[in-house]
Structure formats: C-alpha cells, structure tokens
Amino acid sequence: MSLLPSPIASLFEKQFLRQLVSTPRGRATLLMQVARSEGTDGETGVFEHILASVDDDEVKKLVRVHQSDEHRHEQLFLARAKAQGEAPLMTPPATDLMAHLDRQIAFQRRPVRDRHGVFEAYLLLQVLEERALRQFGRMMDAFASVGDDETVAVFAAVAADEERHLKYCLAITTRYAPSEAARREGLEMMRRLERAAFEETQRANFHVFVDARLVDGPVWRFLLSKIEQRFGVPDLSLAAS
Ligand SMILES: [Fe+2]
Ligand SMILES: [Fe+2]
C-alpha cells in the first residue's frame, strides 16, 4: 500500500499476515482465498477458453497438465483450510485478484477465439503465476511462524509447480506472440494491470480482515482509517463495474 515507504510497508505486511494466521479462523480464511485463486474463480477458469483455440497437440498437452496441476493445487489448499477446524470467513468479490483484473480486461466474458487470444490468456496466467510465487514466500513465512508445517510443505510443493508453469507461460507466449517485441510489450502491460489490481485487492482485504477483527488492535484500525481517508472505502461487491 503506497501510503507508507516500501520497507515499512513490507514490515507491516509481514506483521499483518502473522496476526491473520495466529487464529484457526484466520488461517482457514486465507487458505480458502488461496484455493479460490487456484480454482475456477482464478486460474483454472482460464483454461477452458484456451483449449478451444490451441491448434497444436504439443501445446494442448502442456495446457492440460497446467490445468490439472491448478485443480490439484485448489484441492490441496481446500484440504489445509478444512484441517484448521474452523469455518472460514467468506470474503467478498473485491478481495479476489481475478475479479479486479477481469473488471479491467473482461477476460472471463470474452472467450479465446484465435492465436492472439491464446497469447493474451497466457500473458495473464504468467502474471498470476509471478504474483502467486511472491505471495507464497510470504505465506510460508507466516504459517511457519505458527508452526503449521503441513501447510508450509503444501506451499513449497505448489511453488515448485508454479516455477514450472512459468516456463510453460514463456514457451507458449513466445510461440503465439506476433513478435518478440510484442511479447515483451504485452507482458509489461499485463504486469502493470495486475499490479494495480493487486493493490486494490490488498486494500479490500485489509478492510475486510480488520473489520471482521481477524486482525485486531488499535494500530491496524488507525492505519485502516488513514488508508481509507486517502483512497476511500473499497467497493466490496465490485458492483459498480
Ligand atoms: Fe497453482
Ligand atoms: Fe500455476
């Protein structure tokens, strides 16, 4: 959140995450969010569009492996959420990165029809994979701080798959891009869109977790009020799109 200089912001983010995972309900809520981002609300939903437009068998095979990996990831995180033994808080659409991104690029409502569509879909997947890898590192640190080693192990195994998926993304976008310059340009544009969507997602999450007292205390409430003075209260339903 750009209200604070970045070293302080990342320290706050670390503390915030540690407090969130300090209760079983906080852990279950976070793990449900991660499961959703792996599942049909996130990455998995993209593949059906892609498979319809991929025209060579080798790439089709990669896409199918990728799709089944993401489905498996969703199940792994759902199992870890359940293992926490408490019902998660069901968080609103504004806490979902894909929902914000989709508002910008209308991906879910616009089927992949041609080679260019495959190229764009895999650029989108690439930036989602990049984000997942950065976030997984932070989450592993948080779950390790409360001794939930089984969840840490799941994050580590899934992160290894995401590294492999990044290679698929590079191979497929390279093959389907009109040119190398177009691939680089497209990737930079997608990264910019994702960064803005991620910041909005973070603000919504901050609001929801403090409001539900999953992260509690005067410091967090003060920070939330300052952030909302500057950026406004987030539209949690994303209804205004
Ligand atoms: Fe995944
Ligand atoms: Fe992935």
143 or 60, greater pLDDT: 143
Domain count of the chain?
1
31 domain residue, yes or no:
yes
CB atoms within 10 A of CB 165: 22
Ligand 2 centroid to Cα of residue 34, in Å, is 12
Residue 29, domain extent: 21-201
Cα of 66 vs centre of ligand 1, distance in Å, is: 8
The two tokens of residue 174 are 């390279």
Question: What backbone torsions phi and psi does residue 32 show, to the nearest 5 degrees?
Answer: -65, -40
C-alpha 188 – ligand 2 centre gap (Å): 19
- Whether 37 is covered by a domain: the verdict is yes
Which numbered ligand comes closest to the C-alpha of 62? Answer: 2
pLDDT given at position 146: 97
Select the more confidently predicted residue: 102 or 43: 102
- Please determine, for residue 238, whether its predicted confidence score (pLDDT) is greater than 90: no
Are 13 and 21 in contact by the 8 Å Cβ rule? The answer is: no
CA of 161 to the centre of ligand 2 (A): 6
What spacing in Å lies between the alpha carbon of 97 and ligand 2's midpoint?
Answer: 15
Tell me the one-letter amino acid at 139.
M
Q: What is the pLDDT of residue 41?
A: 61
Helix axis angle, 149-176 to 115-145, nearest 10°? 160
Q: Rounded to whole angstroms, how far apart are CA atoms 59 and 206?
A: 39
The string of pLDDT tens digits covering residues 106-141 is: 766 666 778 888 899 899 999 999 999 999 999 999
Task: Read off the tokens for 189.
Answer: 């544009």
Identify the pLDDT of residue 45: 63
Gap from CA of 98 to ligand 1 centroid (Å): 14
> Which pLDDT score, from 0 to 100, does residue 162 have?
97
Q: Is residue 15 part of a domain?
A: no
Question: What is the DSSP-derived secondary structure letter of residue 95?
Answer: G
Tokens of 158: 């899934």
pLDDT at 241: 46
CATH code for the domain in which residue 67 is found: 1.20.1260
Task: Tell me the pTM.
Answer: 0.92
**59 part of a folded domain:** yes
230 CA distance to ligand 2 middle (Å)? 34
The whole-number pLDDT of residue 40 equals 64
Asked if 131 and 194 count as a contact pair (C-beta separation under 8 A), the reply is yes
User: Among all ligands shown, which has an atom nearest to the Cα of 71?
Assistant: 1
Residue 80 domain-assigned (yes or no) = yes
Spacing, Cα 140 to ligand 2 middle (Å):
17
Query: Per residue in 12-41, pLDDT tens?
Result: 889 999 999 999 999 999 999 999 999 866
Q: Which ligand is nearest to the CA of 158?
A: 1
| 238 belongs to a structural domain | no
Distance 70 CA to ligand 2 centre (A): 6
| Size (the chain), residues | 241
The predicted-structure confidence for 36-70, as pLDDT tens digits, reads as follows 999 866 566 678 778 888 878 888 999 999 999 99
The pLDDT tens digits of the residues spanning 164-192 come to 999 999 999 999 999 999 999 999 999 99
Between 12 and 143, name the one with better pLDDT.
Answer: 143
- Decide if 8 is inside a domain: no
Residue 103 has pLDDT above 90, yes or no: no
Q: Is residue 220 part of a domain?
A: no
Ligand 2 centre to CA of 201 (Å) is 19
pLDDT of residue 218: 95
